[in-house]
Structure 1
Amino acid sequence: MDKQHHILIDELVKLLRGGSAHASLKDALKDLPAELRGERPNNLPYSIWQLVEHIRITQWDMLEFSRDPNHQSPKWPDEYWPKEAAPADETAWKNTIQQIDLDLENFINLLKKDDIYQELPHGDGQSILREALQLADHTSYHISEIIIIRRLLNAWK
């Protein structure tokens, strides 16, 4: 790999992990009281739990699509959003956060070993680069929603 390619990969990794120009997911969830995870303030259609679980499902789908030509995506939109407003328990919450972290690291590993420009043979124009940019964009969009909900709940710094 040439120097420019290394620079691009490093910048993509920073973008995916967040925190450079905006809050990371970890920042957005830090010190969130457990009892607020399922709150839907001001008649919003989703809770922080639903956003976090949606991030997990979508990220998993993009990862699997990128590495498995036989992957079947969930049905949009029903299977990308949890019905429950709150996690079943602390274990469910922790498992979701851990899965987000694990899947993100697995996606970052794809960036480091695959030709990020090559179109995926099972897609319709997608590449690892395109999926990385979409993943970062999608996650940062929903992180901002989490922060807005926290502000509405008076639970943000």
Structure 2
Amino acid sequence: MRNNGLADMNEHNILIDELIKLLEGGSAHATFEDAVAGLSHELLSVKPDDLPYSIWQLVEHIRIAQWDMLEFSRDANHQSPKWPDDYWPKEAAPADEEAWNKALAQIKSDREEFIELLRSGDIYKALEHGDGQSILHEALQIADHNSYHTAEIILIRRLLKAWK
């Protein structure tokens, strides 16, 4: 006879591991880090073929949205930015290389902090300050959102002949 407590814990750990893989990317898809690796500063502001966003705007949008979902998940008093205006930068390029590097570093650190949330609590329980959202919901939303926009970054790089 199976010990349900151990089986449930094993299944929970498998789910957490799979969610982490989903958040970090890879497997059959390029990671966010792959998508932004080796970009020249000049390419960050280009909007090819009348596309509405530059690579910088997509990266900054990923940073802002992921930060918002992280903060929403851990802070009942968090105030989200105004949608959509505050989620999309107006500038097509970062102010400088430091702004670019800070955005990339924050995306990575916020992802790592969210992964710690996954490991530390009940991922199924509705957040008390939400409308039914859970850590599981937010994990799936972050993964979906980031992968969607990572693909857009790769598409822009392909159009600019700056992809593998």
Query: For this structure pair, what is the TM-score category when the shorter chain's length is used for normalisation?
Result: over 0.9
Alignment gaps of 5+ in structure 2? 1-7
CA distance in 1: counterparts of 2:52 and 2:19, whole angstroms: 31
Which 4+ stretches in 1 moved above 3 angstroms? none
CA distance in 2: counterparts of 1:154 and 1:80, whole angstroms: 28
Output the amino acid matched with 2:36: L
TM-score (norm 1): 0.98
CA distance in 1: counterparts of 2:26 and 2:134, whole angstroms: 24
Alignment match, 1:54:
61
SS in 1 for 2:106: helix
**Shift of the alpha carbon at 1:21?**
2.2
1:99 aligns with 2:106: yes
Per-residue CA shift, 1:7-44, capped at 9, x if unaligned?
Answer: 00001001000011211100101111211001000111
Select 2:81's aligned residue among 74, 78, 83.
Answer: 74
1:126 aligns with 2:103: no
Per-residue CA shift, 1:104-126, capped at 9, x if unaligned?
Answer: 00000000001000000000010
Alignment match, 2:24:
17
CA distance in 2: counterparts of 1:72 and 1:16, whole angstroms: 23
Alignment match, 1:41:
48
SS in 1 for 2:45: coil
CA distance in 1: counterparts of 2:26 and 2:63, whole angstroms: 18
1:117-156 residue pairs with structure 2 within 5 A?
117-156=124-163
